[in-house]
Amino acid sequence: LFLQFVFHTYTAAFTLVNGNGTPKAGEYSLQQKQILLGLGAVSYSACVGALPLTFMNRYELKSPLMQLVVRRVLPAPLFGLTSAFTVAMVRSPEFDNGIEVMDRNGKVVGVSKKAGEKAVRETALSRAVLFGTTFFLPEVLMHFVQRARFVKNPRALSTARMFVMMSVFGGMLPVSFSMFPQCGEIKREELEPEILSSTEETEFFYNRGI
């Protein structure tokens, strides 16, 4: 549970720092709201991530199938889904209040909730792919390493697993960041009427965040 909490705290802080800073709050500080939402998302994600292993240990479910499911199969989708959930919670003010959209010349033409939704959705998806793949691919690769008996010493096996995981993570970082452009594009028909009434542009852009 502690390690899950540390992991999701880091990802929430990274998301908070690298989001789109457009929205303004009314009665409270936007940053305070994001921190509260982030803490809630971190706590929820940590509990969800730790639940399968806790359940297995609590009820002494030690069968090979249960070990396979809990330790090898579940972590990847759980980390992917909880990472996406954390992004959505921390950056939820962006689709509640909207983010700035610009024309081709960089001139701000308005604040759009639909652009905010698109930016958060794209970032959440890229984060899910990053962490889901990072925890899935090493397990597959290590399965073949163990079957081929390339590494026999348990300590060396742990070192090899860590090396493979870091290599996959390093390789997936640029892939996940480049899934969607940093300067996102949104079509005219996707925006709110009040923004369209002030310009004749057909394409608009926004800062997606990381």
- Nearest residue to 124 (alpha-carbon basis) of 180, 83, 175, 168: 83
Residues of the chain with pLDDT under 70: 23-31
Q: Dig out the tokens for 164 from the structure.
A: 């493979």
Residue 171 has φ and ψ, to the nearest 5°, of -75, -30
Q: Dig out the tokens for 150 from the structure.
A: 């390339």
Q: State the pLDDT at residue 27.
A: 45
Task: Please give the order of strands across the beta sheet that includes 183-187.
Answer: 108-112, 99-102, 203-207, 183-187
pLDDT in tens, 162-178: 899 899 999 999 999 88
Cα distances (Å, whole numbers) of residue 200 to 179, 184, 203, 204: 29, 19, 9, 11
Q: State the pLDDT at residue 78.
A: 92
Quote the pTM value. 0.86
Q: Which residues contact 160 (CB under 8 A, 6 or more apart)?
A: 142, 145, 151
Determine the 3-state secondary structure of 8 from DSSP.
Answer: helix
Q: State the pLDDT at residue 196.
A: 87
pLDDT in tens, 34-74: 788 889 999 999 999 989 888 888 877 778 888 888 888 88
Q: Dig out the tokens for 112 from the structure.
A: 């759009």
